[in-house]
Amino acid sequence: MSFKIERILYATDLGPRGPDVFRCAASVAERYGADIHIVHVIEEPSIIRNNIAERYISGSVMGGYRESTFEEAIDEIKRRLEQFTRSTLESEEAVHARVAEIRVLTGRPGRTILEEADRIDADCIVLGSRRYSGVNDMIIGSVARKVTLKSRRPVFLFPV
């Protein structure tokens, strides 16, 4: 059985170690000649927080404000992702990876990452995993855990 990778989904939380994980994704992409699809998922605002805000601000004003602020935030996040990928790839002379698309989505991160992997028919998913330690116990972050447990695709986890 041969293993091919043509499309990589790189999911980022825009954390400080994001460039390190992206370099890993770019290295895998270069090795296999794959395209990288980048996704960042914004957690949907909680219903409770929205209800509290709407108690003090009329629904129509709040809705318009939320919509414009949200669109501005998505544009800014996408701009930062584009800048981050460009500067990371330019700083790595040996890495020549191609970024096919950058998307900023809303939803539950684990579920949304898996849906995006389905949408692009990703051959694998790359993401960073935070490590939390308990009593001699190491577990991975909740999003990485959900993606790993529910994915039908290979998942590359890089510790951050």
Which tens digits make up the pLDDT trace of 62-115?
555 556 677 888 889 999 999 888 888 877 655 667 899 999 998 999 999 999
pLDDT band of residue 48 (cuts 50, 70, 90) is very low
Residue 121 lies in a domain: yes
| Dihedral angle sign, alpha carbons of residues 140, 158, 22, 110 | negative
Residue 5 lies in a domain: no
pLDDT band of residue 129 (cuts 50, 70, 90) is confident
* Range name among 9-13, 43-47, 53-57 with the lowest pLDDT average: 53-57
Say if CB 81 and CB 40 are below 8 A apart. Answer: yes
For 25, the token pair is 């994704």
Confidence check: pLDDT of 57 > 80: no
- Count of structural domains within the chain: 1
CATH number at residue 51: 3.40.50
Residue 98 lies in a domain: yes
Residue 142 lies in a domain: no
What average pLDDT does range 4-11 have in this prediction? 96
